Structure 1
Amino acid sequence: MHYRISSGNPASRLIEVDFSLSNLSAPTVELQLPAWRPGRYELQNFAKNIQRFEIFDKTGKPLAFQKLTKDRWRVQTAGVSELVARYTYYSNVINAGSSYADDRLLYLNPVNFCLFTDDRLRETCTLELDIPDNWQIAGGLHQIAPKTLLASDFYELVDCPIIASPDLQHLHYEVDDTVFHVWINGNIKPDWERIQRDFSRFSETQIRLFGEFPEKDYHFLTLILPTAYYHGVEHRNSTMLVLGPNDEGEGLYTDLLGVSSHELFHAWNVIRIRPTELLPYDFTRENYFTTCFVAEGVTTYYGDLILRRANVFDDTAYFKEFQVLLKRHFEPSGRSFQSLIESSWDLWLDGYDKGVPNRKVSVYYKGAIAALILDLHIRRKWNHARSLDDVMRLMWERFGKPFIGYTLDDYRAVTEEVAGEPLDWYYERCIFGNEPLEPLLNEYLAFVALQLENDATDLTTTPAVFLVPLDDETGLENRYRWLGVHPEGGLNVKI
């Protein structure tokens, strides 16, 4: 399968695609466009962005075809050995899962616009970019010619976003045998010395947690916008980040660190430690699963914690982000009806919309709080000799490294093995249940000399929450053992 991508009129925001499929022998071929993309568990119906759609044989003769569904076409190919589907894709939105073209940027998420056939998903794919000679190409695909990229199969192709531009800024660093690339496109002058120091630290800390890195190289692909924005998406050996505004302030850099650490953790957790329901991806329909609280909640928990362990964040910076996480759960949805299991399943329904009040919870925020409770429970029982780190290492060794997929029962079995006891109470209260978590959370926060306070008069009132320290010397020692750093002074004020 070969794709040629161009944008003859960037002002139109149209990306022009020529998809060539050879070695045809059947009387018909069905072409499918993905209905969703990895990292966003909702149907996005990319076919709605196709403006013009035509199919020809290799001589340029039109072939008859019929649209079967919103994103599937049956082509009459009797006597034809090769076809070319020629179509335009409207790309007027920039986020971390979209595609976009202007006169100085070609930003591509191939999952948006690359057709496939069901029986050839494992074949190699080539992607050719019609771009000026002075443009650089950034992304995780192997470059086999100046403007041509190679993917081992369709799954790799659509899990590797691409930026092409004459304005790309680039840095690389190494940790063990892995080369990491930071690519930035936008009206900004990066502090490369600071980026190299901080990114090296959190990359090394994550690798030490798991013991190895899944890939030989990794790419942080970053678009900086003039307007406020915050979005990141994980991919096989890269992440796509869209941030703004481009004021070069400390807030922008903090956002860059937070989303980069989160997305790098996904290189293990969900890219390789993947729910069995997502292995392999079925791009034609919903892929329902119940463990997004592991995929996203555990990752959200570790994203900022890793930055503290790596001494990229100090106490003030870490607990500021921790406070934000707590507020994002307890203030809007601490009394919501759904459990984490139900909200994981219903991501495909409305998981990324605000939705009905007090219905769902965030698998990111409540999932992170549930991960924290589990981590502190294991640490308290084993005096820090075991922790959630051990859970994730076992998940990597048993499911991620062999890439075989895990079930909810698998995850529960590993957590109970590390805890050394049944965890019925944990799963009933935190994962399957919908009870307010403040009392349970405070039981475990006390172990690390912290407490969650709110200004609600009763459990029916929406609270404003505050994280406060406790005057407890033993708890303070436990806090630093949890954070994995040496004490640098206590947390003395409300955040």
Structure 2
Amino acid sequence: MICYRNMMKSFIARYKPIFLLPLWIGLLSSCALATQNQTAKLHYTLVIEKNHYDAFQVVIQVEHVDKNELIFRMPRWSPGAYRLRDYYENVRNFTAKDLRGHSLKVTRVEKDAWQVQTHNLPVMVNYEVQPAFEFWSGYALDSTYAIIQGPSVFMYIEGRKNEPIEITYKIPHGWQLVSPLPETNSSFTFHANNYDEFIDAPVFMGKFEYHKFKIQNVPFFVVLLGPVNFEISDFLDLIKRICKYQISLFNEIPFKKYVFFYRIQNQRRGGGGLEHLNSTVITLSSRRLEQNILNAAEVTAHEFFHAWNVKRIHPVGLGPFDYTKEVRTGNLWFSEGVTSYYAKLTLLRSHIWSLTKFLQEMADEIERLQETGERLFVSVQNVSRSIWERGYANPGLSYYNKGQILGWLLDLEVRRRTNNRVGLDDVMRFMNWWFAKENAGFAEGEIRRTLNALTQTDFTDFFENYVAGTAELPYEEILSSAGFNVSIESEWVPSIGDLLFLGPRNRVVLVEKGSPAEASGLRRGDLLIKIDDQLITSRSQFFDYIQQKKIGDIIKLKIRRDEIEKDLKVKIGRQQIVSCEIDPMSKLSKIQKVIFDGWLNGQTCLNPSHN
């Protein structure tokens, strides 16, 4: 612990004046808001009427009103999903009354905002909202279930997002309900400290299976909506192992309750998820779960790690939130990509994955990055800032992909520079202590400054070259310091460009610009039926067929567009394919072994006996 004290003293001495100013401002603001909130009362009610499954009924009751006008506004985006949405288009029949039942004047002042003339009296607002389709959870309402994703359902009152909220759900008889918010005196009424917390708490209701376990006396709920054709005890054990490791990494549980919401669907080929403050919503393929429950492991580890990284250790702007516009940060490579690295590391250190499996997964990520030509002229920092325009299906550089590789390289480089006195685990714990505990976001440059202070070295060149810049990553130099051999080779193969299609109807969601596929006339939204005379049954079958062709060959794609079948001729082009292999060295020097063992077991001077 001697080195811990020395490093903390050094860090605080150098950076205390810079860091504490915004923290003190935040604390003073919180005190002011706490005083204001003592008398504030906002009551929300959501109603689902039996046999009326086309919309949610929402009531907002405002008891304390000291203005002649209130503006109610729908959010334009959901935290964690960086794209603007038109949720306001789903709103209908917006009305307002006072508590005596008298109608109040309502004016739609903007496309996403409704103004109510209150006469300084308590107000009751009523509106219907049609469920929005979300890519991470699917459709949200039918006769057997409902999924409430707060930003797509609940408006906020301008200037009053910091007030506490009570939400009551009125649902069909026989339905269950699970929420990550604390219950009040009713199992269908919950409390949130503010609007951000309120809409960051999704709700599943209806007919589903759920299970509960505890870690350090904190309850964890596992909600399963959809077919459960796998061994549930093994599935729960998998989740527990992931949770226990990550809790031990941070040495804390930052919530009083956590919920894993799983949407299991027959038609899904893959999966995805969205993080929330004390929960996550994850969509999984029923078929892949039946094949192996480990197919749920990485996305579960990724989303749970977000309970710290991005929900509590977050860039400035990602809490408190501005829901009216894009909120940009150059640090999503860290918030998302490094989270992906820790998802893999969690599975390794909790013995769910072998070392061989981990190294193969990281080699796959390196192959993907090296096959992305955009890496040579677009930085991962710029990709983080431009996700709002690029979208998640962009075939170019990904901050998930490069971010997790950077996470691994940073981890090993930190250990190399300090002879394993410090690792990236220590950086995460320190940022959790310094920023999350004070409920403060970190600004651009503060990851680098934290690394500089903890290691007593300068990471400026690393960040300028590999985060803000486009230099090729120093795989061999850094991986060899921890006892890994890395080999990267490439070759040209037949290709029609990056093409992504999803779902049972093979709907095209992405066509690479300038690719042979685009030149043939293929568009987003087309349905792929046949390649030459073969029915298209899977992505692997489709691309394996192309790989058997020669560069310059012509293939025929049968597609359906606007209910009309068409034939497209595509000329086979070429694409560079990268092959990467990573293996442990047979003989390690003393310092290589120290770094390797420290990384594998999560040990440093700051945390000498983690595992």
Could you state the TM-score of these two structures normalised by the residue count of structure 1? 0.89
- Cross-structure match for 2:198: 157
1:442 lines up with 2:559 in the alignment: no
1:454 to 473, 489, 494: 489
> Distance in 2 between the 1:81 and 1:297 partners?
46
- Counterpart amino acid of residue 386 in structure 2: D
- Following TM superposition, by how much is the alpha carbon of 1:97 offset from its aligned partner in structure 2, in angstroms? 6.1
> Distance in 1 between the 2:137 and 2:79 partners?
9
> Distance in 2 between the 1:339 and 1:369 partners?
14
- In the superposition, relative to structure 1, how do residues 425 and 79 fare at CA in structure 2: closer, same or farther (>3 Å)? closer
Report if the CA contact (8 A) 1:220-1:239 is conserved: yes
Post-superposition Cα deviations, 1:426-454, rounded to whole Å, max 9, x if no partner, equal: 111111101233xx123222333231423
- Cross-structure match for 1:16: 57
2:250 to 210, 216, 219: 210
Q: What are the equivalent positions in structure 2 for 1:112-151 lying under 5 Å apart?
A: 112-144=152-184, 145-151=186-192
SS at match of 1:5: strand
2:458 to 422, 428, 433: 422
- Cross-structure match for 1:395: 431
- Following TM superposition, by how much is the alpha carbon of 1:38 offset from its aligned partner in structure 2, in angstroms? 1.0
Post-superposition Cα deviations, 1:333-390, rounded to whole Å, max 9, x if no partner, equal: 5635221221111122224242xx65xx212111111111111111223333321111
> Distance in 1 between the 2:51 and 2:423 partners?
52
- Counterpart amino acid of residue 472 in structure 2: P
Post-superposition Cα deviations, 1:194-230, rounded to whole Å, max 9, x if no partner, equal: 2333322222221222121211221111111112241
- Cross-structure match for 1:236: 277
- In the superposition, relative to structure 1, how do residues 121 and 471 fare at CA in structure 2: closer, same or farther (>3 Å)? closer
1:193 to 233, 236, 239: 233
Report if the CA contact (8 A) 1:7-1:101 is conserved: no
SS at match of 1:364: helix
> Distance in 2 between the 1:312 and 1:471 partners?
23
SS at match of 1:78: coil
Report if the CA contact (8 A) 2:137-2:263 is conserved: no
Report if the CA contact (8 A) 1:13-1:101 is conserved: yes
5+ long unaligned stretches in structure 1: 487-495
Report if the CA contact (8 A) 1:225-1:244 is conserved: yes
- Cross-structure match for 1:473: 587
> Distance in 1 between the 2:576 and 2:115 partners?
53
- Following TM superposition, by how much is the alpha carbon of 1:135 offset from its aligned partner in structure 2, in angstroms? 2.2
SS at match of 2:378: coil
**Greater shift after overlay, 51-60 or 122-131?**
51-60
- Cross-structure match for 1:464: 578
> Distance in 2 between the 1:48 and 1:39 partners?
21
Q: How many residues align?
A: 476
- Following TM superposition, by how much is the alpha carbon of 1:241 offset from its aligned partner in structure 2, in angstroms? 0.9
1:409 lines up with 2:426 in the alignment: no
- Counterpart amino acid of residue 441 in structure 1: Y
- Cross-structure match for 1:299: 339
Identity %, equivalent residues: 26
- Following TM superposition, by how much is the alpha carbon of 1:12 offset from its aligned partner in structure 2, in angstroms? 4.8
SS at match of 2:191: strand
- Cross-structure match for 1:276: 316
1:371 lines up with 2:407 in the alignment: yes
- Counterpart amino acid of residue 388 in structure 1: L
- Cross-structure match for 2:387: 347
> Distance in 1 between the 2:65 and 2:427 partners?
48
2:118 to 77, 82, 95: 77
- Cross-structure match for 1:490: none
5+ long unaligned stretches in structure 2: 1-41, 493-573, 604-611
Alpha-carbon RMSD: 2.6
1:483 lines up with 2:600 in the alignment: yes
> Distance in 1 between the 2:90 and 2:68 partners?
29
- Counterpart amino acid of residue 30 in structure 1: I
> Distance in 1 between the 2:73 and 2:485 partners?
52
- Cross-structure match for 1:493: none
2:305 to 255, 262, 265: 265
> Distance in 1 between the 2:575 and 2:247 partners?
43
Larger radius of gyration: 2
- In the superposition, relative to structure 1, how do residues 3 and 255 fare at CA in structure 2: closer, same or farther (>3 Å)? farther
- Cross-structure match for 1:43: 84
> Distance in 2 between the 1:72 and 1:230 partners?
34
Report if the CA contact (8 A) 1:291-1:344 is conserved: yes
Report if the CA contact (8 A) 1:378-1:419 is conserved: yes
- In the superposition, relative to structure 1, how do residues 12 and 147 fare at CA in structure 2: closer, same or farther (>3 Å)? closer
SS at match of 1:429: helix
1:319 lines up with 2:359 in the alignment: yes
- Following TM superposition, by how much is the alpha carbon of 1:132 offset from its aligned partner in structure 2, in angstroms? 3.1
> Distance in 2 between the 1:102 and 1:371 partners?
42
- In the superposition, relative to structure 1, how do residues 158 and 97 fare at CA in structure 2: closer, same or farther (>3 Å)? farther
- In the superposition, relative to structure 1, how do residues 485 and 289 fare at CA in structure 2: closer, same or farther (>3 Å)? closer
Post-superposition Cα deviations, 1:90-128, rounded to whole Å, max 9, x if no partner, equal: 225254367611111111011211111122212221222
Report if the CA contact (8 A) 2:306-2:339 is conserved: yes
> Distance in 1 between the 2:576 and 2:48 partners?
50
Post-superposition Cα deviations, 1:117-172, rounded to whole Å, max 9, x if no partner, equal: 12221222122222134322222111221322221221111111010122222132
- In the superposition, relative to structure 1, how do residues 98 and 5 fare at CA in structure 2: closer, same or farther (>3 Å)? farther
- Cross-structure match for 2:146: 106
Report if the CA contact (8 A) 1:446-1:470 is conserved: no
- In the superposition, relative to structure 1, how do residues 336 and 59 fare at CA in structure 2: closer, same or farther (>3 Å)? farther
Could you state the TM-score of these two structures normalised by the residue count of structure 2? 0.73
- In the superposition, relative to structure 1, how do residues 250 and 430 fare at CA in structure 2: closer, same or farther (>3 Å)? farther
Report if the CA contact (8 A) 1:265-1:303 is conserved: yes
Post-superposition Cα deviations, 1:308-351, rounded to whole Å, max 9, x if no partner, equal: 10112223443343344334433235635221221111122224
